[in-house]
Structure 1
Amino acid sequence: MLQSPYRDLHASLKQTFPASQLITDPLRTLAYGTDASFYRLVPKIVVVVESEDQVQELLAQCKAFNTPVTFRAAGTSLSGQAVSDSVLGLLGDNWDGFKLSDDQSRVSLQPGVIGGQANAKLAPFGKKIGPDPASINAAKIGGIAANNASGMCCGTAQNSYRTLSSMRVILHDGTLLDTGDQTSVNLFRQSHSALLNGLRQLRDDVQADPVLAERIAKKFKIKNTTGYSLNALVDYDDPIDILQHLMIGSEGTLGFIAEITYETCVEHAHKASAMVYFETCEIAAKAVQLLKNAPVAAVELVDRPGLRSVQDKEGMPAFLKDLPDDATALLIEVRGEDETELQDKIVQATQSFAHIETVHPVEFSDDPNVCARYWGIRKGLFPLVGAMRETGTTVIIEDVAFPIEHLAAGVVDLHKLFKQYHYDEAIIFGHALEGNLHFVFTQDFNTESEVERYGKFMDAVCEMVVHKYDGSLKAEHGTGRNMAPFVEMEWGVDAFALMRRIKNLFDPEELLNPGVIINDDKDVHLKNLKPLPASEEIVDKCIECGFCEPKCPSRHLTLTPRQRIVGWREISRRDAAGEDSTALRDLYVYQGMDTCAACGLCATACPVGIETGSLIKMLRGREAGKGSTRLGQWFADHYGVAMNATAMGLKAADLAHGILGSKVMQGMTDGMRKISGDRMPRWTPSMPSGISFKPEPSVEQDGDVVIYLPSCASRTMGPARNDVQKTPLPVVTERLLKRAGFQVRYPDGLNDLCCGQPFDSKGLTDVATGKSNELSEALFKASEGGKYPIVFDTSPCSFRMKGMNGDSLNCLDMTEFMHDQVLPRLHIQKQNRKVAIHPTCSTQKMALDVKMKAVVEACVSEVVIPEGVGCCGWAGDKGFTTPELNAHALRKLNRSLDGISEGYSTSRTCEIGLSEKAGFPYRSIVYLLDECSR
C-alpha cells in the first residue's frame, strides 16, 4: 500500500493519467528500480509520460505534493542517475519524432529515439549524430544528451554539447522553452527574467575570475562529465545559450529535454582499421600523442590483461599469447570520402609514428570482416569480464580521463591500485586520443568488508586522478550517484559553489532527480547497492545493461528481458532467504511468462549472449508439471492425428466464417472466449483455412534433388478466406522448385514430423528434443546422409533444425535457398509494385534479412520493412492465447504501410497477426517469386 504523500499523489494522478500509464505493482516497480548501474532504488510510482503536456502535468502534480521526480529514457546509464525511490517518469512510445532539415545539416530528435535508429535514418544521406556511445543501439537521445554521452569516435568535438543547435526543454515549473523558436524565446525572456538574470550573474562572476575561467576551460579540453557543464559560462554570453548548454550533461536535475536539434556530422563510407601492438604502455602512449595530430577517426587502447582475456577466442592471432607482459595495443581507424582519401590518410597515420617500434608490422585493412574482428576485440572486453565474473558479484566499469601527456603514467598507476586492492581481474581500455580510460573489474557487495574495500579503492582512484593528474573522474558516463561525493574534490570549492547555484536557479525546491550530481552524503556511492544473487545458471551472467530491451515485443506492455531477469533474481533471493515471494510470483506468471514471446531476439543484442526466452521456457516447463508433460508426449506420439484434427477445426471455422461473415463471427467468438475466461483461442478474420497437405508420390525426373520439408503450419494452414491467393504454400513451393529445375522429394511419414518448436516454446524440452531427433532421422534418410540440401519453408523450423544438426545435415531456410539457388535459375518479370516484408525473429537470428529483402527486390520495384517492428509477438500460438502481445508488438506496423496492399514473410503463424493488423494479406515470399516467374 502506498503511504502519504504518494497515496494522495497517486489518487490525483488517476484523475488525469490513464490507468495503464500508472505503475505501482511490486514487480514492475522493482523492474524499473534497476538501470545499468550497480544501484537499486525502487520507485513508489512509475508514470509513463507520452507527451509534453503529460510531462508538464506530472511536474505540476509532484510540485503540489512536494514529491521528487526522476525522468528515465532507456535506463542504460552506468552511474545511478536513472533510478529513484520516489516518482519515476518513464518515456512512453510517443517520443520518437525525427525531422531532418532540407540540407541535412540539422536533425531534430525527440528523447525517445534510440541513437542507432537516428543514425540508420541519417545513413542514406551520409550523415550521423555526433555522440557515439557503446550503448547507442539501446540508449535514447534523451539520455545521450542529458549525460553528454560520447564514445569511441566523437571525442570532445562532436558530443551533444558541441553539436547542439537548439532544444525544447521543460523546466521545473512546467514552462516549455523552444530555443529554436524566436517567439518562444522572447516570451521566456519576459516570463523568466529572474532565471536569465541569475545565469548572467553566474557568467559575469566566472568572467571576473580569470583563474576560475581558465580552470573551467582547461577541464573541458579532455572529456569531462563530472558535475554540470560549467563551460557554458565561458563559451557563451546569451543566457539562452547558457541555459540550453547547461541542460547537456545535467542528468535530469535541471529540467526535461523534450526535443534536441543536432548539427549532423559526416559519416564516411570508406573506413580502414589496424590493430597495432607496442612493447609497453609508455611506448603506446607516445604513439597516441603523435596520432593526436594525424587524420585518424579513433584510437582505442587495450592493455595487456585485456588482450590476455581475448587471446584464446576464435579468430585471434596466435602471437597474442607471446606478447610481453606490459604490451599494449592501439586500435586505429581512419575514414575517407573515397578510396583515394582513405589511402592517403592511412599513409599519414602510419608515418606519424613510423619511428616508434611496434611488436608486429603495422597493417591497415579496409576489409569489413577484418575490421569487425578488430572492433569485436575492443567492444567485447566489458561483457567478457561480466560473463567471466563469479556468480553473485557485480561487474563495474569506471570511466576516467587524464591529460594526454599523462596517459601512460595513469595506466601504470591504475595497475598499481588494482594490485594494492586485489582487483586482479581488472582490465583497462579506452578512447586514447581523449586520454579517456575505462577500467573494468568485478566486485562482491554482499559483505561489509567487500563494500569497504571498494570504498577505499575508489577513494584512492579519485585521489590519484584528481590530485596527481588533475583529470576527470567521469569522462563520459555521467556523475550520477556514483561520483556525486567527489564532484567538489575534482572541481574545487569555487567551481562546486557555482554548481550549487545552478541547481538552485533551475530547481529551487530540489525535486528534480535529487541526490544526483549534487549530494552532501559522502557515502552515497556505497548505498543502495544492487544485489545480483544467483537465480538460474542460464541468466546469472546478466549484467543488467538493458541492451536487450529494444528487441523485446513486450517492452512497455509488461516486462523486458532485463526486467524478467531482475524479477526472477529477486524471487530467487527471497526464496533463498526464507522471505515471502508469493506476490512477485503471482505477478510473474503473466508479466514474466505469459507475455514473453521467447523469440530469442534479446540474445542478438546481449553483450553476454543471454537468451532470456530460455529462462522463461525453463520456468514454463517447471510450471507445466507432469500432467502437461504427459499430454505433450501424447500429442508428440500422435502428431499426425493432432494435425488432422487441427486442419478439420480450421476448415469448420472457415466454413462458419463464410456463412456468418466476419462481423458476426468475430462477435460470437469473442463472446465465447470471454465466457471461457480467455481459455478459448481467439479467432480473427485473418485466420487461415484448413488444409491437409499430402505430397504426391515422388516421380523420378531430371534436375538436382532437393528435400522439401513443409512445416506443420504449412501442411495444415491454407490462405485466409479474404486472401485472393487460394493455393496452399506447399503446392506453390513444389511448383516453383520444379520450375527452377529441381527434383523435389519429401521425407517419409511427413504428417507425423515436427521440428519440436511448438513443444519447446511450452517448456517441454524433452518432448521437443524427441520430435527434433525424429525429424533429423527422417531427413538424414531422405537426404541420403546429407547428400542433398534440405529446405524448410518456415524460418523458425529451419533455425531450430540448423541448431540441432549443425553441419551434419545441409538444412537451409527457404529464404537463403531461394536467394542462392532458385533465383538465378528463374526468369523474373519485375513488377512496379510496393510491398512490405517482415523478417521473422528466426530470419534475423540467421542473419538472412538481407537476402530476404534481395529476393523480394528482384521481384518488385519498392520494398518496405516497417520501422519499429521486430518480433511480431505471435510467438507460435500467443496470437491465439495472449493476443495483446501481438497487438502491442505490431502497434507501429501501419505507420509504414501507406500505398501498400500486400506483405511477405516466412512463417505462416506470424502472417496471421501481420495480416490482421495490416488489413491486407501477408504471405510467404514463395508466392511472390512464383507469381513473378511465370
Structure 2
Amino acid sequence: MELVYQEFITRLAISVESERIVIDKAKMLAYGTDASFYRLTPKVVVRLKSLDEVIYTLKICSELDIPCTFRAAGTSLSGQAVSDSVLIALTDDWRGHKILDGGDRICLQPGVIGSDANRYLLPFGRKIGPDPASINSCKIGGIAANNASGMCCGTAQNTYQTLDDMTLVFADGFVLNTADETSVSVFKNQKRDLIKGVESLCDTVRSNLALEARIRHKYRLKNTTGYALNSLVDYCDPIDVIKHLMVGSEGTLGFIAEITYKTVVEHAYKASALIVFNDIEQACRAVSALASEPVAAVEMMDGRAMASVADKAGMPAFIKRLDLEACALLIETRASNKAQLLAQCEQVKETLLPFFVIDSIDFTSRADTLAMLWGIRKGMFPAVGAVREVGTSVIIEDVAFPVELLAAGVRDLQQLFNQFKYDEAIIFGHALEGNLHFVFTQGFESEDEIERYGDFMDAVAELVAVKYQGSLKAEHGTGRNMAPYVELEWGQDAYRLMQEVKRLFDPRGILNPGVILNEDSQCHIKHLKPMPKADELVDRCIECGFCEPVCPSRTLTLSPRQRIVLYRELQRREAAGEREEVKALAKVFEYQGLDTCAATGLCAERCPVGINTGELVKKLRRAKYQKFTPIARWTVEHFDTTTKMVKFGLGANQQAQKILGDKVVGNLVNGLRSLTQGATPAWTPQYPAVNRHKPASFSARSERVELATEPPLQKVVYMPSCASRTMGQQLGNREQRSLTQVTESLLQKAGIAVIVPLALNEQCCGMPYDSKGMTEVADKKSKQLEERLWQASEQGRWPVLMDTSPCAKRSIEQFTKPIEVFEPVGFAHRYLLKHLHITPTDEAVTLHVTCSSRRMGLENTMLELAKVCTPNVIVPEHIQCCGWAGDKGFTTPELNMAALTSLKKQLPAECQRGFSNSRTCEIGLSHHGGIPYQSIFYLLDEVSTEKGE
C-alpha cells in the first residue's frame, strides 16, 4: 500500500474504530461493487457513523490529496459510486428523520431508504416527490445526489424542484446548514471566495443570452447530464444556487448530510389501464393528447418490451399475440376521492376515443390487477437480465427526446439496435416526459465487443444530443458512462461553466474524480466489470443491490450481492489457474460468504430476477459439512434419542442457572467457547428451560353449531416442532407454560379435536440438515414426516398445524401429497378467531415477523392478528430477519447480534413483551431486545375465552 494511504489509515484510526476501516482486498472488492457495469477496487473502505466523522475524514483526504467517493445504497447505474481510492459508506446510524409542518416537509438523513420516507409520511397523506424504481433499496443521499426521479415524478416533483434545505459538507470539511441563519452567516463570512465565485457564475450566464437560452431549453426535458446549470438561472441568492447545484452533483461537489424536502400529495385513489396500439406513431400521438389530461403516469412499452414479459406467470393472454410493431401505454390517474377518480378515468378514455386500440385492460383500482399491470412494466429490465448470455452485462440507458419528436426518436433508436445487432434490446419509459429507457446485453470480454459498444454509444450520443437536442441522461446520472459526451450535449460554453463549478467547489479535485467531468474520451469503456460464469443459481445476478436492505449479515460481513461478487471472483481466479489467490480468497469466503449467511431466502423476495443467494450458500456448505454427514445420518435414524440428549442439556443448563447463577454459567460456557475458538456453542441467559410436557391427542369439548358458509373445523393434526417439543420458556418469564401447552389450550377453547402423530419424537421437517447443505439427509427426514402426517391427517382430510413458521414453510415447499399445512398465524386467522371470544388488552407489545412468515406472505396477517389482541403493537424498523437462522444463534452469535443491533433502542419503556412465531428466533430476540419474546399464541391465548352459544 502506498505510504499516503498508510498515513490516511493511521490518522483515520484516531477517530474511527478499526472494524469500520476495511483494507482487506477481498472485502474491498465486494464492498466496492455497485449496480453499474464498471469495476474499481478501493484502496480503503471506511464506514462512517456521524457528521463529525465525515468532517474529519474529508479534512484528512483534503490535506493528503486523496480522492474519495461517497456511497449510499450502490444502486446507481452509471458508475458514479465506485472508486479506486477511498470509498466512504455510511452505517445505519444515518437513518434519522423529522416530520415538519404536519407532513408538508420532511427532514431526512442520507441513509434513509426512499420507501421508508414515504412510510413515515403516509399518515399525513404525503410522500416525497422522487419515485425511482429502486425506491425500496436506494437511499435519500443517492436520490438527491443523482436527482433521481421515476415513473410519476416528472420534472415537477424531483429533488431539485422539491428541495427546501440542506446540510452540506464541502471538500475541506466545512459545514453549511442552509436552514440555520447562523450557519449561513458564518459560511458567507468564511467562504467569501466561494460566494463570490457562485455570483460570478450567475453573472456569466446572465451576460450570455445564448447560454442562458441553452440552459432553459435543456431543462424543458428531464436532464441529469452534467451539473444542474438551471440553478444559475433559476436563483439569485448564492445559498439557493449552492444547494441546488448539489442536487445531481453525484458527490463531486460535497456531501449531503441532511436534506429537507417539500412533500407532495399521496392520493388515496388510483386507477390504471393498459392500452395497446398498432405502432409507435399511434402511441406517441396518444401521449401528446394525454399530456393535458389528469394522468399521473404514462409508461410506454414497445413490442419487444411486451414480448420480453409475455411468458411470465399471470400476464394477460393477448400479450403473446402482439407483434413487434405494437406499442403499449400503461396509464395511471390519481384523485383524492372515488367520484373524482371515476370522472378522470372517463375523461382519459374520451381523449383516447379517436385512436385505434388493438387490445386493452380498462381502468381498474383492484389491487391484484394493479399489481399485475405495473408488474408488466417493472418486470422488463429484469426480464432481459434473466435471459442474457452468461458473462454479459445488462445495460440500461436513459435518454429523453422532445415529446413532439418521440416517435421519430424511438424509430431511430430501433434502427441503431438493428445496425449494431442488439437484437434483444427493448424500449420502455416515461412517455409524458419523452424519457425512454432502453435495455440490452453486452459482453466486455473481447476488444471487438468493447469497440461495438463504444461505437454504439457514439451513435446514440449523436442521435439524442445532436439530432434531437435531447438528454443523454434523463434520470440515471452522468457518472462515468456519459462523462465523455457532456460537452457534445451541452456545448463548449456550458461545459466550461461546469468545469468552473467543479474547480470552485472542489479545487483539489478530490471528490469523486472522473465522474460527470472526465477528460478521457474513452473513460466509458474502461474499468469494465467482469461477469464470469460462477453457478447457474446466481449467474443471472445483475448486481443491482436490491437485496441488501433485508439481509441480516450486511453490516457484519457481506450482503447477497457482495457474496455473489466474491464467488464470481473466486471462480474467475480458479479458471485462470491462480492457485494461491484462490486459496487466499476461499479462506476469506468461508466465513464471510458461508458461515455468516442466514440462508433465509429473503434476498429472493427483493431480487428482480428471483435469485436466492441462500441456495448457493447451502450448496457450497455441502462440502464443508460433508465430514459430519455420518453423524447427521445417525441423528436422523435416532431422532428420539437426539431429542432426549438436547432435553438433558437444557435441563442441566436450567439447574446450573438456578444453582450457580447466570454470571458463573456464562463465564464457564462462553469461556469454553473462547478456548475452543468458537467450536462450542455460545450461551445467553435467555436459553430456554426444558419442555417436559408431552402433547397428546384429545377430543373436542362439545359440538359446535354454526350458521356459516364454511363448516367448522372438527379436527387438526398438531405437529409440534422439535424446537417447541424440547424447549420451554426462559427462566423469569411471567408465563412458564410451554408452547405445546398453550397451543393445546387454544385448540380446546376453539372446540377443535387434536390428532398428534404417532412416534412424534422421531419427527422433524429436515430444516437443521437443509441449512447445512445436507440435502439428501434433510429430504429423507422431510419425506418421513410427510408419510406420518399423511397417515395422521387421514390422507389430507384434516389440516396440519405446525407451531413454528420455518418448519411449516419448509414442509409446504417439500411435501408432494395434498396436505394443508399451517403455521400459527395462518391457522389462527383461518380457524381460531371465529371460535374464540376476544377481550383485547391495551398492553404495548412488540412483534417480530419471521423471515419465513414474510416469504409466505403473512406479514400483514400477523400484524392484524396481533392488533386483534391489542391495538398497541410496535413493529421495529429494518429487522427483516433476526439472524438466528436455525442454529446460527448458537454457533455464530455475531450474526444474530448484527441483525438485531437496533432492536432494543426501538422498544419504548412501556413495552415489556414481544411475540413472534419461531421458538429459536425468540431466544435471540429476547437476548437482544431485553424483554422476553414468545409465540403469538401466548398473546392470543391470554386474551381469548371459549365462545359461548
Residue 281 of structure 1 aligns with which residue? 280
1:852 aligns with: 862
Query: Residue 901 of structure 2 aligns to a residue in which SS?
Result: coil
Per-residue displacement from partner, 1:118-174 (whole Å, max 9, x unpaired)? Answer: 111111111110000000010000000000000000000000000000000000111
For residues 326 and 631 of structure 1, the distance between their equivalents in structure 2, rounded to whole angstroms, comes to 62
Distance, in Å, in 2 between the alignment partners of 1:213 and 1:249 is: 19
Q: For the Cα contact (< 8 Å) 2:225–2:473, is it kept in 1?
A: yes
- Structure 2 counterpart of 1:911: 922
| Residues 274 and 333, structure 1, Cα contact 8 Å, conserved in 2 | yes
**Would you say the 8 A contact 1:70–1:89 is kept in 2?**
yes
Distance (Å, rounded) in 1 between the aligned partners of 2:473 and 2:934: 52
Instruction: Please report the TM-score for the alignment, with normalisation by the length of structure 1.
Output: 0.99
Q: Within 2, Cα distance between the matches of 1:906 and 1:147?
A: 41
Query: In 2, Cα distance between the equivalents of 1:817 and 1:496?
Result: 64
1:601-632 deviation per Cα after TM superposition (whole angstroms, max 9, x unaligned): 1111000110111111111112222x212221
Corresponding residue of 1:396:
395
1:385–1:441 contact (8 Å) kept in structure 2: yes
Q: Does 1:74 align with 2:73?
A: yes
Q: Once the 2 structures are TM-superposed, how far is the Cα of residue 15 of structure 1 from its aligned partner?
A: 2.3
Instruction: Kindly provide the amino acid, as one letter, of the partner of residue 132 in structure 1.
Output: D
Contact 2:904 2:930 in 1 (8 A): no
Indicate the residue corresponding to 1:738 in structure 2.
748
Aligned positions of 1:704-719 closer than 5 A: 704-719=714-729
Aligned equivalent of 2:819, options 802, 809, 813: 809
On the 8 A contact 2:695/2:756 being kept in 1, the answer is yes
Correspondence for 2:767: 757
Other structure's SS at 1:372 match: helix
Q: How is 1:480-879 mapped onto 2 (pairs within 5 angstroms)?
A: 480-579=479-578, 580-625=581-626, 627-696=627-696, 698=698, 704-805=714-815, 808-879=818-889
Q: What letter corresponds to residue 280 of structure 1 in structure 2?
A: D
- Residue 167 of structure 2 corresponds to residue 157 of structure 1: no
Question: Residue 203 of structure 2 corresponds to which residue in structure 1?
Answer: 204
Q: Which is worse superposed, 436-445 or 778-787?
A: 778-787
SS in structure 1 opposite 2:276?
strand
The one-letter code matched in structure 1 to 2:614 is G
Deviation string, structure 1 residues 428-467 (Cα, Å, up to 9, x no partner):
1001111000000111111111111111111111111111
Match of 2:192 in 1: 193
Structure 1 pair 879–591 and aligned structure 2 pair: CA distance change class (3 A): same
Partner of 1:8: 7
Aligned-pair CA distance for 1:903 = 0.6
What does residue 708 of structure 2 align with?
Answer: none
SS at match of 1:364: strand
Residues 490 and 807 of structure 1, relative CA distance in 2, 3 Å threshold = farther
Aligned counterparts of 1:324 and 1:759: Cα–Cα separation in 2 = 49
Q: Distance in 1 between matches of 2:216 and 2:804?
A: 60
**Quick one: distance in 2 between partners of 1:228 and 1:349?**
37
Number of residue pairs matched by the alignment: 932
For 1:748 and 1:522, locate their aligned partners in 2 and report how far apart those are by CA, in whole Å: 74
Q: 1:811 to 1:477 in 2, by over 3 A?
A: same
- Following superposition, the deviation at residue 16 of structure 1 comes to 2.4
**Structure 1 counterpart of 2:101, which letter?**
D
Q: Is the 8 A contact 1:702 1:743 kept in 2?
A: no
Provide Cα deviations, 1:804-825, integer angstroms capped at 9, x if missing partner.
1267211112111101210111
Q: Is residue 2:912 matched to residue 1:901? A: yes
Aligned 8 A contact 1:868 1:893 in 2: no
> CA offsets per residue over residues 853-891 of structure 1, 9 Å max, x none?
111111113111111211001111111111111111111
Check conservation: 2:700, 2:751, Cα contact below 8 A: no
Sequence identity (%): 53
Superposition map of 1:2-401 within 5 A:
2-360=1-359, 363-401=362-400
Query: Does 2:938 correspond to 1:920?
Result: no
- The 1:700/1:337 distance shift into structure 2, 3 A limit, reads closer
Which residue number corresponds to residue 457 of structure 1? 456
> Is the Cα contact below 8 Å between 1:32 and 1:83 reproduced in 2?
no
Give the letter for the 1:779 counterpart: L
Q: Secondary structure at the match of 2:843?
A: strand
Q: For structure 1, which segment, 731-740 or 524-533, has the greater mean C-alpha deviation from structure 2 after superposition?
A: 731-740
Residue identity in the other structure for 1:866? P
Give the C-alpha shift of residue 324 in structure 1.
3.7
Separation (CA, whole Å) in 1 of partners of 2:702 and 2:790: 22
- Per-residue CA deviation, residues 223-273 of structure 1 (Å, 9 max, x unaligned), is 100000000001000010000000000000000000000001110111100
Question: Which residue of the partner structure matches residue 710 of structure 2?
Answer: none
> Where does 1:396-415 land on structure 2 (aligned, <5 Å)?
396-415=395-414
Tell me how far apart the structure 2 counterparts of residues 268 and 637 of structure 1 sit (CA, whole Å).
Answer: 59
CA displacement at 1:702 relative to structure 2: 5.6
1:886 correspondence with 2:885: no
Which has the higher mean CA deviation after the structures are superposed, 316-325 or 528-537?
Answer: 316-325
| Greater Cα shift, 913-922 or 540-549 | 913-922
- Partner of 1:916: helix, strand, or coil? helix
Distance 1:48 1:281, change over 3 A: same
With 855-864 and 505-514 compared, the bigger mean Cα shift is at 855-864
**Cα offset, 1:4, TM superposition:** 2.3
Task: Tell me: CA distance 1:483–1:682, structure 2 relative to 1, closer, same or farther (3 Å).
Answer: same
- Could you tell me whether the CA contact under 8 Å between 2:550 and 2:878 is conserved in 1? no
Displacement, 1:662? 1.7
Cα deviation digits, residues 503-543 of structure 1 (max 9, x gap): 00000110000000010000000000001101111011000
1:929 to 940, 943, 946: 940
| In structure 2, distance between residues paired with 1:254 and 1:682 | 48
Aligned-partner Cα distance in 2 for 1:806–1:138: 36
- SS in structure 2 at match of 1:340: helix
1:650 is matched by which residue type in structure 2? L
Which deviates the most, 570-579 or 913-922?
913-922
The Cα offsets for residues 540-588 of structure 1, whole Å up to 9 and x where unpaired, read as 1000000000001111211100000000000010001101212211111
Question: How far apart are 1:381 and its partner, in Å?
Answer: 0.4
Q: Which residue of 1 aligns with 2:707?
A: none
2:682 and 2:610 map into 1 onto residues whose CA distance is 34
Deviation of 1:348 (Å) = 1.9
Indicate conservation of the 8 Å contact 2:549/2:878, yes or no.
Answer: no
Secondary structure of 1:581's counterpart equals helix
The alignment partner of 1:374 has SS state of helix
Paired position in structure 1 for 2:472: 473
Counterparts of 2:156 and 2:245 in 1: how far apart (Å)? 17
Structure 2: any 5+ residue segments left out of the alignment? Answer: 704-713
Secondary structure of the structure 2 residue equivalent to 1:79: coil
- Which sections of structure 1, spanning at least 5 residues, go unmatched? none
- How far apart are the structure 2 equivalents of 1:263 and 1:699? 62
Aligned equivalents of 2:892, 2:69: Cα separation in 1: 33
d(CA) in 1 for partners of 2:324 and 2:601?
Answer: 40
Shift of 1:361: 5.2
1:931 to partner: Cα distance: 1.0
Q: CA deviation at 1:26?
A: 1.3
